[in-house]
Chain A
């Protein structure tokens, strides 16, 4: 069981790097979604179901959605420039 925790921790570190290195905001959306998912699985492995559910709902659904709508609003503002 301890190797699974170790793997999830390393994957979480990698997901963080992925979010930072994807410089284009549109591609970063998918990295953010993946990061939220990986963090949720890590919390599940760390015996924190409440936090895992909250992270999936916020980190993997609402926050990337906010990013998507913000990018759309920025695109609309740029088009009207």
Chain B
């Protein structure tokens, strides 16, 4: 179908959607005046019930823990899919060591770059850990901290160069980290069942309000999410970086085929 027909079809559907969309937009509650009972109840009940001050983290890790477990499984799924898609095509054996693309000049890194990157990478790494740790008290949390840790590990590449970076950041360790984070989260769901309580029940002592380690199992879930996200995103970035150095020889396309 030629592009003209597609644009025409899209225009027709937009014109047909306009009246219905406008009636929905007008019927929506006016911006900023609407208070939803669910949110108001969370703000009222949860600080006292779970001694935690970050309501978003409380909703994420305790009230609606199952959504976050689904989210972690999605990350597990995407990481496994990306690894299969990218590493599978290159063949299993080459992923261990860093491949060099012949003919690509190795940019000589100046000492200033190496120093600044080492300093910035460690600082960023500890900032990621800080954001993950303070997830239940101030804005932040396992997910944001994990992604900051992943970007810190990538910053190492800028300073150390590809071969050395691959020796520091191992694919196998990352997949274990990813699996361990997800498994820990599932165990947090399973163990209360053994005690006859509901799944994901907060069985650990809740600690004092506004304290760093308040919130019982929420601290464990926060750590599990941080590990899974850090391992997952680093593995995705690592596989993509490996892709930019595909070897000359054409490997057999994947083992599934």
A–B contact with Cβ pairs below 8 Å: the answer is yes
Kindly state the separation between the CA atoms of A57 and B142 in the bound complex, as whole angstroms.
Answer: 13
What per-residue 1/0 map shows which CB atoms of A1-30 lie under 8 Å from chain B? 010000000000000000000000000000
Q: Is the CB of A57 within 8 A of B240?
A: no
Contacting residues of chain A (18-70) with chain B, CB-CB under 8 angstroms:
48-54, 57-58, 61-62, 65-66, 69-70
What per-residue 1/0 map shows which CB atoms of B42-75 lie under 8 Å from chain A? 0000000000001011000000000000000000
Total contacts A to B, CB within 8 angstroms? 56
**A54-B240 contact given A62-B151, A76-B101, CB 8 Å threshold:** no
Q: Is the CB of A80 within 8 A of B140?
A: no
Using C-beta atoms within 8 Å of the partner chain, give the interface range for chain A. Answer: 20 to 34
Kindly state the separation between the CA atoms of A73 and B54 in the bound complex, as whole angstroms.
Answer: 40
**A50-B56 contact given A62-B233, A65-B237, A66-B237, CB 8 Å threshold:** yes
Q: Contacts of A62 on B, CB cut-off 8 Å? A: 147, 150-151, 233, 237
Q: Is the CB of B150 within 8 A of A54?
A: no
Q: Contacts of B98 on A, CB cut-off 8 Å? A: none
- The reply on B223 being an interface residue by CB < 8 A is no
Give 9 nearest A-B pairs by CB, closest first: A49-B139, A69-B240, A73-B243, A50-B56, A57-B147, A72-B244, A50-B139, A53-B144, A73-B244
Besides A50-B140, A61-B151, A73-B243, 12 new A-B residue pairs in contact (Cβ under 8 A), listed by A number? A48-B56, A50-B54, A50-B56, A50-B57, A50-B144, A58-B147, A62-B150, A65-B154, A69-B241, A73-B240, A73-B244, A76-B245
